[in-house]
Structure 1
């Protein structure tokens, strides 16, 4: 059988374009989903929630939003991990702070937070919550929380101070995490 060099060259050209194009398209999608995620202007809700991690950025953003929108309840995820020191400290001093609810998710990840939030929503009868997390985490965290509750979930991103290499790492981690939330939803039924 003679080898058709024209069709082999064409196949190699198509493969080369795909090898270049797929990562470029992924990077563009990652920038849109994780660096500049779609967010509606925040409005008043029953409670504002600060997810664990990067609390030095997330907690002040949540407290400022709570004050601006007169949200009566601040819900804070505690983890005992170094990146959550500010939130953990606030919760350790929670004596006498009306409207502050602290919880420790099990397991210590976004899935555990989604489960714990579903229970808190049910316990307190909230109809809407605002969730503050880092910009890169808005889509995945919102997906997981909405899988666990039927209440209105408003996601707000705080802007983390990350290097380009750290952003690239977050793009990879969040892409995998988002795919995982679609393949393995957290809650089998929604509670309201």
Structure 2
């Protein structure tokens, strides 16, 4: 299972065409990678997931660009599932048939589970490596395994498990 999380199947950003590039868990390095991908001209729209508690200024990222369209979503709840729900709603409004999803490497597998539940079209996954110390990598993989187990307990896009199921994941996240 760990190998599945650390080495997910990915699509090549240099050849991937989609109706939109969706950037999950937005962070400065993912904004930069999204800019690089959008510069290739294969995808007409970028969607940034903007969370209120983020410690980054996303206002500049949500500004219009001359060469492609920029949209920002604010997921509710502020989780991967919330991002997938917001993406599914937006995709229906926009009439999209395909999306490319950009996130960090260990987050790909769980993200794809949620996005494919909420978006019936073609889902292509892209990832950024992020340098993580071995101790933190263990925590990250543990978090993703717990999140994947939680995701596996639900069947539909917006199926919410009881709030108490989040507590063990929060404990794993805060473990040094």
Q: What TM-score do you get using the length of structure 1 for normalisation?
A: 0.74
Query: Which residue of the partner structure matches residue 44 of structure 1?
Result: 17
Check if 1:65 corresponds to 2:37.
yes
Say which structure is richer in helix. Answer: 1
Query: Which residue of the partner structure matches residue 109 of structure 2?
Result: 139
After TM superposition, list the pairs within 5 Å mapping 1:1-192 onto structure 2.
Answer: 29-30=1-2, 32-42=3-13, 43-53=16-26, 55-83=27-55, 85=56, 87-91=58-62, 94=63, 99-187=69-157
Instruction: Provide the rounded CA distance (Å) in 1 between the counterparts of 2:59 and 2:34.
Output: 15
CA deviation after TM superposition for structure 1 residue 51, in Å: 0.7
Change (3 A) 1:108 1:143: same
Query: Larger Cα Rg: Structure 1 or Structure 2?
Result: 1
Q: What TM-score do you get using the length of structure 2 for normalisation?
A: 0.80
CA RMSD of superposed structures (Å): 2.0
Listed one character per residue, the Cα deviations across residues 93-118 of structure 1 (whole Å, up to 9, x for unaligned) are: x2566511011000111111010000
- List runs of 5+ in structure 2 lacking aligned partners: 160-176
Aligned length in residues: 156
